[in-house]
């Protein structure tokens, strides 16, 4: 006899009652007393809160996303929900794990640990630390590969605006030399024959431009937006008189004309990359403003679309 969807809830309730009656003789008859609040679902709700919070914008994960979220919780073993509608009634731990907090004292004198104070690791650091930029000088491998990949797109856009064959050739390189460099790994992996491989000079200019943009963005006291001329000035100051595009005699052949080709190449590459990064910064800033409002208004719409 087919069961209608309206009877499924009643059928599930009956199955739960039957299952509970079968488990009572095994689990409860041997106990002297029972703490009824142990049957509360608060601990389960706290666990679900942690799972939903780990998903970020997606509070309805699929099976694959749930697997990685649960693995993340097992690794961290300390996710505390501060936005749940329930509070734990005791100190029951969920997702516990043993963490080794022992500290090795091999770097200090073990004999001084019993009789006196341990030597301070900050003894040789002067009291006055001059203010400077703490941004990393070198980018990580992931960021470096992404910059090389973006440099290929910048070169593709730049080739459409250049008429000089020498300048066009200085922006690209062959695939054989790119394989030897780890920074070109992402570009080589994604390339099926249609991507543009940028030269080392182009990648150098893009790296300096990215560093200048990050330095300008990290300034919390900045009231004005990042300007292209400021980024160009920083890039030119860091590169100096170096022949970054390996133009050779072509620099001297064109430096007394209307426009220096070396100057034009540097300006063009920086401006194209600056436009890409500025659009990305604007997009991320807009999302940060909308994170508290749009998510609540379009919650079900986003979930149903699967975004």
Residue given tokens 């005699």 in the structure block: 249
pTM: 0.52
Residue 81 pLDDT > 70, yes or no? no
Residue 184 pLDDT > 70, yes or no? yes
Residue 1 pLDDT > 70, yes or no? no
Residue 167 pLDDT > 80, yes or no? yes
Between these two residues, 158 and 260, which has the higher pLDDT value? 158
Q: Mean pLDDT throughout 41-49?
A: 82
What are the backbone dihedrals phi and psi of residue 174, each rounded to the nearest 5 degrees, phi first? -85, 160
Q: Mean pLDDT throughout 146-158?
A: 94
Give the best-scoring range by mean pLDDT among 19-23, 26-30, 151-155, 221-225: 151-155
* Residue 215 pLDDT grade (very low, low, confident, very high; cuts 50, 70, 90): confident
Whole-number Å distance between alpha carbons of 43 and 184: 48
Residue 248 pLDDT > 70, yes or no? yes
Comparing 5-14, 19-28, 121-130, 207-216, the range with the smallest average pLDDT is: 121-130
Residue 148 pLDDT > 80, yes or no? yes
Q: Which residues contact 245 (CB under 8 A, 6 or more apart)?
A: 167, 170, 171, 199, 201, 202, 262, 265, 266
* Number of residues assigned to the chain: 307
What are the backbone dihedrals phi and psi of residue 124, each rounded to the nearest 5 degrees, phi first? -90, 0
Whole-number Å distance between alpha carbons of 150 and 213: 15
Residue 205 pLDDT > 90, yes or no? yes
Share of the chain above pLDDT 70, in %: 68
Q: Mean pLDDT throughout 292-296?
A: 59
Q: Break the chain into its structural domains and give their ranges.
A: 141-296
Residue 203 pLDDT > 90, yes or no? yes
Between these two residues, 84 and 6, which has the higher pLDDT value? 6
* Residue 273 pLDDT grade (very low, low, confident, very high; cuts 50, 70, 90): very high
* Residue 65 pLDDT grade (very low, low, confident, very high; cuts 50, 70, 90): confident
Q: Which two tokens stand for residue 301?
A: 């719409």
User: What residues pair up with 198 in beta bridges, in sequence order?
Assistant: 172
Quote the pLDDT of residue 105: 40
Q: What is the DSSP letter of 39?
A: G
């Amino acid at each position: 006899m087919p069961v209608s969807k309206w009877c499924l809830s009643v059928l599930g309730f009956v199955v739960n009652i039957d299952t509970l009656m079968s488990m009572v003789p095994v689990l409860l008859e041997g106990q002297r007393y029972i703490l009824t609040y142990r049957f509360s679902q608060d601990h389960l709700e706290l666990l679900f809160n942690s799972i939903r919070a780990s998903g970020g914008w997606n509070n309805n994960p699929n099976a694959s996303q749930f697997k990685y979220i649960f693995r993340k919780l097992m690794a961290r073993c300390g996710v505390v929900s501060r936005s749940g509608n329930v509070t734990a009634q005791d100190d029951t731990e969920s997702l516990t794990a043993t963490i080794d907090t022992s500290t090795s004292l091999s770097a200090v004198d073990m004999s001084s640990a019993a009789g006196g104070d341990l030597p301070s690791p900050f003894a040789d650091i002067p009291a006055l630390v001059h203010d400077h930029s703490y941004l990393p000088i070198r980018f990580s491998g992931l960021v470096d590969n992404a910059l090389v990949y973006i440099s290929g797109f910048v070169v593709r856009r730049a080739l459409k605006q250049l008429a000089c064959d020498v300048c066009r050739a200085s922006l690209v390189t062959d695939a054989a030399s790119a394989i030897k460099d780890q920074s070109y790994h992402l570009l080589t992996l994604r390339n099926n024959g249609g991507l543009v491989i940028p030269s080392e000079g182009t990648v150098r200019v893009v790296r300096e431009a990215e560093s200048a943009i990050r330095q300008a963005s990290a300034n919390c006291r900045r009231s004005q937006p990042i300007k292209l001329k400021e980024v160009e000035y920083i890039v030119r100051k860091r590169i100096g008189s170096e022949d970054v595009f390996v133009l050779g005699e072509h620099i001297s052949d064109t430096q007394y004309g209307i426009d220096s080709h070396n100057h034009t190449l540097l300006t063009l590459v920086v401006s194209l990359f600056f436009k890409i990064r500025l659009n990305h910064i604007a997009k991320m800033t807009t999302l940060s403003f909308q994170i508290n409002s749009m998510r609540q208004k379009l919650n079900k719409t986003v979930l149903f679309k699967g975004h």
